[in-house]
């Protein structure tokens, strides 16, 4: 039965592709990967806060963990976490096929699913990979927000796999800010970066149901604290949602299409947004 479902899923993926996609899938991901690597490797990390917390947590869990970050801050993790060999969840959409190729070129593996299609199965597959010794990566507020409101998916994975949930955030002194739902950040060339590992979250096996939401809120709190720490290292906190009040102006918007296209691929990496027992 599982094999049949997998075959149907692959058939649906193929049907979503257009006639020219096989050509572009062989050309665009390597080119985009090269451009992103050139951009990110021009940046310089000047400070890493809390690294020892991560090292200690990984030592206790035999190297297994779930890393969580905000959707707004995903792009620099393509470099910073490149050596971690994470498994991440990517949507089953046509665009997700491009994202999958890109993620793999950065040294990670993927499971296919999202909040709208294949999410529960993908979440179980990702959790199983972590149990078997892997590491998972998830966007706490992805794929479409609300911005900086953590969803329960990361908590469920860490709880079921009994591994630490590690909140991870970065900040930058100079960047482009996209006019997206969470003001997606892209570092400018040769900018300076700070990284913050917040206190890892351990979720006891005895916790369940409504209690899991307490850990979801704790994850949200630690990610937001880490974000503020990173941003205020260079100045004021970065904007993270669209301003809708009359008379206020949105600032630092990026309209340069090629860069937006590159960022769009990162926005396709998604997280499991909800859990029926909790929310």
Q: Check whether the bond before 15 is cis (ω within 30° of 0).
A: no
pLDDT of residue 119: 75
Residue reference for tokens 């620099």: 76
Cα–Cα distance between 165 and 216 in angstroms, integer? 10
pLDDT digits (tens, 9 = 90+) for 52-77: 999 999 999 999 999 999 999 999 99
* Residue from 41, 50, 47, 69 nearest 187 by CA: 41
* Residue from 133, 154, 152, 165 nearest 62 by CA: 133
pLDDT of residue 65: 98
Residue 207, SS3 per DSSP: coil
For each of the chain's 279 residues, which pLDDT tens digit applies?
444 444 444 444 455 778 888 888 889 999 999 999 999 999 999 999 999 999 999 999 999 999 999 999 999 999 999 999 999 988 777 778 888 898 999 999 999 876 666 678 888 999 999 999 999 999 999 777 899 999 999 999 999 999 999 999 999 999 999 999 999 999 999 999 999 999 999 999 999 888 999 999 999 999 999 999 999 999 999 999 876 655 443 444 343 333 344 445 444 443 343 333 333
Q: What angle in degrees, to the nearest 10, is found between the helix axes of 211-232 and 153-161?
A: 110
Q: The domain 2-266: what is its CATH number?
A: 3.40.1130
pLDDT of residue 217: 98
**Any residues with CB less than 8 A from the CB of 246 and at least 6 apart, and which?**
none
- Which residues, listed in sequence order, are joined to residue 141 by a DSSP beta bridge? none
Structure tokens belonging to residue 215? 């850990």
Please check whether residue 66 is in contact with residue 139, taking contact to mean a CB–CB distance below 8 angstroms.
Answer: no
**Any residues with CB less than 8 A from the CB of 221 and at least 6 apart, and which?**
none
pLDDT of residue 194: 98
């Amino acid at each position: 039965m599982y094999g049949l479902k997998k075959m149907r899923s692959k058939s649906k993926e193929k049907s979503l592709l257009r006639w020219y996609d096989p050509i572009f899938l062989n050309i665009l991901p390597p080119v985009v990967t090269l451009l992103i690597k050139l951009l990110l490797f021009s940046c310089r990390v000047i400070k890493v806060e809390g690294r020892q917390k991560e090292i200690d947590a990984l030592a206790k869990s035999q190297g297994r963990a779930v890393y969580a970050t905000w959707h707004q801050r995903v792009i620099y993790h393509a470099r910073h976490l490149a050596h971690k060999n994470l498994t991440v969840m990517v949507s089953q959409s046509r665009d997700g096929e491009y994202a999958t190729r890109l993620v793999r070129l950065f040294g990670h593996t993927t499971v296919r699913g999202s909040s709208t299609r294949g999410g529960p199965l993908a979440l179980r597959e990702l959790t199983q990979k972590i149990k078997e010794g892997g590491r998972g990566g998830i966007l706490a507020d992805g794929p479409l927000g609300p911005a900086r409101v953590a969803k329960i998916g990361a908590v469920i994975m860490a709880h079921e796999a009994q591994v630490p949930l590690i909140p991870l955030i970065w900040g930058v002194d100079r960047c482009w800010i996209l006019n997206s739902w969470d003001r997606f950040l892209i570092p400018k060339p040769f900018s300076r970066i700070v990284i913050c590992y917040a206190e890892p979250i351990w979720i006891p096996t005895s916790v369940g149901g409504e209690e899991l939401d307490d850990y979801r809120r704790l994850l949200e709190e630690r990610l937001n604290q880490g974000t503020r720490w990173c941003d205020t290292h260079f100045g004021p906190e970065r904007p993270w949602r669209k301003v809708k009040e009359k008379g206020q102006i949105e600032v630092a918007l990026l309209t340069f299409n090629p860069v937006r296209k590159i960022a769009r691929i990162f926005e396709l990496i998604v997280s499991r947004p909800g859990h029926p027992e909790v929310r």
